[in-house]
Amino acid sequence: MTDVVARLKAVKEKIARAEVEAGRPTGSVALVAVSKTFSADDIRPVTDAGQRVFGENRVQEAQAKWPGLKADHPGIELHLIGPLQSNKAKEAVALFDVIETVDREKIAAALATEMKKQDRSPRLFVQVNIGSEPQKAGIDPREAVAFVERCRNTHGLMIEGLMCIPPVDENPGPHFALLEKLAREAGVAKLSMGMSADYETAIAFGATSVRVGSAIFGGRT
């Protein structure tokens, strides 16, 4: 077994254990393997090991790597987890199966237009700037519920869940708890939260998917 496959297996075991500890059904948490910065050759052992759900944070990088991998491995589900510019909405709708970073009116409008044009409906998450950090993407928590409603009512977009990245230097638990509360208020079922350092904590707080990069693929340069 290669290192990356051994690490994938270890992460999956930890997810299973965290599900049990949280009293949640086995298999209720999806693993999004975050392959940003890694090449198609780095990713292939992970697809060969059966992993099908992946996350990328840049549209252009994903366009270069994924069409070939998708052709070779039926059932790949690709998530956009990085900031989306409205001039990339066309490419994002064409390539991604899930877009987790809907965070402002302009993006919602651009996605609605492209989804109609292409007759493609990637599943959508709203990204919440859960720690209200000035430099970070995402809608402010105080505006999140109203924004989800505008996505539905103004743009006709089905929002499936919320996504967040807590501040790096803080205890993530209260941030995960707030995202869970906002999702309940907004009436959305899915919670994308938890990365390599805190995915077990996120599962305890109700994550339905975790986005794990370095714990699988190793450090990024």
Site of interaction with ligand PLP (CB under 6 A): 34, 36, 57, 81-82, 165, 195-197, 211-215
Residue 134 CB, shortest distance to ligand PLP, in Å, is 18
Residue 78 CB, shortest distance to ligand PLP, in Å, is 14
Residue (188 or 195) nearer to ligand PLP, CB = 195
Residue 154 CB, shortest distance to ligand PLP, in Å, is 26
Residue nearest to ligand PLP (CB): 213
Surface-to-core class of residue 8, CB atoms within 10 Å of its CB (0-12 exposed, 13-18 middle, 19+ buried): buried
Residue (186 or 193) nearer to ligand PLP, CB = 193
Residue 82 CB, shortest distance to ligand PLP, in Å, is 6
Residue (113 or 180) nearer to ligand PLP, CB = 180
Residue (5 or 150) nearer to ligand PLP, CB = 5
Distances (CA, A) of 105 to 102, 109, 111, 128, 146: 9, 6, 10, 13, 11
Residue (97 or 150) nearer to ligand PLP, CB = 97
Residue type, 66: W
Rounded to whole angstroms, the Cα distance separating 162 from 127 reads 6
Residue 24 CB, shortest distance to ligand PLP, in Å, is 21
Rounded to whole angstroms, the Cα distance separating 13 from 19 reads 10
- Asked if 200 and 18 touch (Cβ cutoff 8 Å), the reply is yes
